[in-house]
Amino acid sequence: MTERPWMQRYADDVAPELPAISYDNLPAMIREAATEYGPQIAFTQCMPNGMNGSLTYTQVDELSDHFAAYLREVIGLGPGDRVAVQMPNCLTYPVVAFGVFKAGCVLVNTNPLYTPTEMVHQFSDAGAKALVVIDMFADRLPDVLPRTSIETVVTVRIAEFFPPVIAGVIRMVQKVWNRSLPPITVAHTPFSEALRAGREATSAEALASYLTGIGPGSLAALQYTGGTTGVSKGAMLSHGNLTANTLQMIQMCGSYMRTGVEVVLTALPFYHIFAFTVNLLGFYRIGARNILIPSPRPPSNLKRAFENYKITWVTGVNTLFNALLNERWFLDSPPRHLRASAAGGMALFESVAAQWNTVTGTPIVEGYGLTETSPVLSFNPFSSSAKPGTIGIPVPSTELRCIDDDGVEVEPGTPGEIAAKGPQVMLGYWQRPEETAASMVDGFFRTGDIAEMDADGFFTIVDRKKDMILVSGFNVYPNEIEERIAELPGVLEVGVVGIPDEKTGEAVRAYIVAANTPPAEDAVIAHCRETLAAYKVPRSVRFVTDLPKSPIGKILRRELRAQAVTSDTASFPARGRELS
């Protein structure tokens, strides 16, 4: 098949192909935004109690220049050297990320909740020479640094760039009340001192020289896969990959992304590729104001942001939207200025999408992508042709196919693995040529996700290939069962996995986090019997207090499955300490 039926399904104001990109690299795009929107506020960090600080486009541009000079002139990094960044959403993050790009270095995003073992793996695999880390977790460094190539550590405060009085109050609360500031026992440079040294070393000539030879094909970031299906690997994302995907996303949204006026709630972490490209790069490019939430858990941490700012956009995952819909304060006073919301990272349940639309009166559309694709591959159009429950159609200049195990494209309506081609597809896996070759076949990246394409070119995710459950020889996909169970009153979250079974090979088990009045186990199974084939109906149901999740709230079936086999625990351990 070579047909592209989606070509007729774009909104009227969306061109199906991306124009030629005029930017040689990310700094060119970043500087253009700063020139256009200089005095406007680019980022506002909002703490759970409403305390806040902001930076304008001009300030972000100048401060990131200073950090670029610090990296090159003060600590002597060269082009292509890797800089690990380990912090939550805060005002420092865009300064650091943009500074790394301007220095011609490579950004290595790292989850601040990682354990020392996970830190060592990622830092060592990337060969990072410098680390910028939030000071709240610096107590892990004595165990980590000797096992890596990191030579320079820069520490960041959560209230960096806040007004002095407010920053002092937050610092005091951290020290005395929360006791969340461990002593730092390794050699380090506070971020304010790094900026001061960089400012003294900054010159226009030097800044220009850092980007000599840095073009669309140059490596910009090592974005590590979540590791939910195996060892975490570094996806090599180029300047061209990230600029292309930023522009693809903006073009796909058409008039829904207005220049210079949007206010986007950024609750998902910038270190995750979804928020990195969509919120940090995309909304920055159109002159939006990013409202940064350092930690979205519990959901009440978002309350003051919704109250204090005229939020026009929300990006998130299914669990975030569902959590807000179970907050009384949100239901009593939904955001009045909201225009649209975008979901990704995991399947968006139709029941959640419908309730969000009812409560807010605005659309929530689902997109799809992966770390390896920068990440956006498809999106539901903002038009009457949108199809709720699908992941939409390919973004401009992108081709998607559903293929069988032999790589042959299947007919519409037939499940197959998604294979993707476009300017956003990664260069490959860092130092893993065999895995790169296995995933890139005939110019298409094999995603590992199973989907169906309908006659109009809309794709619907069936499930992750590695999460498929095999019951008596029949393929069972957890997404379908989770969607049905989520329809029941009292179900907050649900995860479905396969567990070993002597008779059927595997049996379906559902894990449910329920509200105050949970549905009975018999009611769950009865509902599934009404809506699913017999072999898909859960053999057992377990009610738990929480489910294992990734930093963005995606339910980790791999961990759920492993723990399901070994125990029937009522809860699953969180990943490290919460950010506060």
- Return the structure tokens found at 551: 């930093």
Whether the ω angle into residue 298 lies within 30 degrees of 0, i.e. cis, is yes
Q: For every one of its 580 residues, what pLDDT tens digit does the chain have, with 9 covering 90 and above?
A: 457 999 999 999 999 999 999 999 999 999 999 999 999 999 999 999 999 999 999 999 999 999 999 999 999 999 999 999 999 999 999 999 999 999 999 999 998 988 898 899 999 999 999 999 999 999 999 999 999 999 999 999 999 999 999 999 999 998 888 888 999 999 999 999 999 999 999 999 999 999 999 999 999 999 998 643 446 899 999 999 999 999 999 999 999 999 999 999 999 999 999 999 999 999 999 999 999 999 998 999 999 999 999 999 999 988 899 999 999 999 999 999 999 999 987 778 888 999 999 999 999 989 999 999 999 999 999 888 889 889 999 999 999 999 998 999 999 999 999 999 999 999 999 999 999 999 998 899 999 888 999 999 999 988 777 787 888 767 787 888 998 999 999 999 999 999 888 777 789 999 999 988 889 999 999 999 998 888 899 999 999 999 998 877 888 888 888 877 776 545 444 333 334 3
Predicted TM-score (pTM) of the model is: 0.86
Which CATH fold topology does 474-566 show?
A: GMP Synthetase; Chain A, domain 3 (3.30.300)
Q: Answer whether 56-214 and 474-566 agree in fold.
A: no
The residues spanned by each domain of the chain are: 1-25+237-462, 56-214, 474-566
CB atoms within 10 A of CB 173: 18
Residues 6+ apart with CB under 8 A from 91: 43, 45, 53, 54, 55, 160, 161, 162, 292
Give pLDDT tens digits for 251-273: 999 999 999 999 999 999 999 99
Fold for the domain defined by 56-214: Rossmann fold (3.40.50)
Rg (CA), the chain: 23
Is the separation of the CB atoms in 249 and 276 below 8 Å? no
Question: In 3D, which of 320, 306, 321, 389 has the Cα closest to residue 358?
Answer: 321
Distance (Å, whole) CA 478 – CA 508: 9
SS3 state of residue 41: strand
Alpha helices in 89-139 (DSSP H): 92-102, 116-126
Residue 29: closest CA among 234, 211, 255: 211
Domain boundaries 1-25+237-462, corresponding CATH code:
3.40.50.12780
DSSP assignment of 297-313, as one string? -SGGGGHHHHHHS---E
